[in-house]
Structure 1
């Protein structure tokens, strides 16, 4: 590589790294409906403006054999070997609330990214992309209704 090109690359990295280091805390609350079934498996994840998987925020429901029923998340995140590292917990019962906290880079907020939640309940219909919420400051604190198992989802940014 030529010295001018290396110099430009080093300068670009030096300018970009501080902006990547800034993050905000996202707190997500998903209130489930009283749907009359077993505990729900939920996958909360981020996609970019094109719908491409970015990262998993949380997966509620620890039995991996049921993760295929979280079909959009399972399909989109299939290439992410670390998709479950440190982001799993118990399933969520009907009428209960799932609370998730994650750190997100500032660059993701108001940049076309979306929070998605897939839901599945044993012996009931799966609900891929049950909730889709644009990750924007305008949507923070505003409840978004789910399609089948989720009553509402809200997120806060700190």
Structure 2
């Protein structure tokens, strides 16, 4: 390959790469119901248009032995050895709010992806896919109701 063409290709790649890798922070907020039990374990994760696990956004609850109760997330993410790296915190008490921020690539927005939250509380029923929110610009800021533990969940782009 000639030197000018190599230079043009290198420059084009350098300019295109930031566009491909562009991401923005997303803040996910889950307001729990006052369900009268112990703190809830929550797993917030991203799936693609086919329902295939993409990545974990946050896991609230520090004891790994209880992660099996976050059934959909645990099953879908089982092969992800990095699923808990830097994305764990304490469980969330009844009536409290979980608020987490994650960076998501712009290419995922309006492309059929979905934010899901699994929930479980000690001595109470597990709630796989408690909340499912399509990751679209039209859903940003719109509260979605949960099935058992979550009053509402929303996401905002920053």
TM-score over 0.5 (shorter chain): yes
Q: Which residue of 1 aligns with 2:125?
A: 125
Structure 2: distance between partners of 1:16 and 1:109: 19
CA RMSD of aligned residues (A): 1.6
TM-superposed deviation, 1:16: 6.0
Where does structure 1 differ by over 6 angstroms across 4 or more consecutive aligned residues? none
TM-superposed deviation, 1:107: 0.4
Size of the aligned set, in residue pairs, is 150
Deviations 1:95-130 (A, max 9, x none): 000001001000001110000000000000000000
Structure 2: distance between partners of 1:81 and 1:145: 31
Q: Which residue of 1 aligns with 2:35?
A: 35
Q: Which residue of 2 aligns with 1:49?
A: 49
Q: Does the 8 Å contact 1:40/1:61 carry over to 2?
A: yes
Q: Secondary structure at the match of 2:29?
A: strand
Q: Does the 8 Å contact 1:27/1:155 carry over to 2?
A: yes
Q: Which residue of 1 aligns with 2:26?
A: 26
Structure 1: distance between partners of 2:125 and 2:16: 44
Q: Does the 8 Å contact 1:19/1:107 carry over to 2?
A: no
TM-superposed deviation, 1:21: 1.7
Structure 2: distance between partners of 1:71 and 1:21: 31
> Which is greater in Rg?
2
After superposing the two structures, state which structure 1 stretch, 130-139 or 13-22, moved more. Answer: 13-22
Structure 1: distance between partners of 2:18 and 2:51: 26
Q: Does the 8 Å contact 1:61/1:90 carry over to 2?
A: yes
* Normalised TM-score (structure 1): 0.90
Q: Secondary structure at the match of 2:147?
A: coil
Structure 2: distance between partners of 1:50 and 1:71: 18
Gaps of 5+ in 2: none
Q: Which residue of 1 aligns with 2:80?
A: 80
Alignment of 1:138-157 (within 5 A): 138-157=138-157
Gaps of 5+ in 1: none
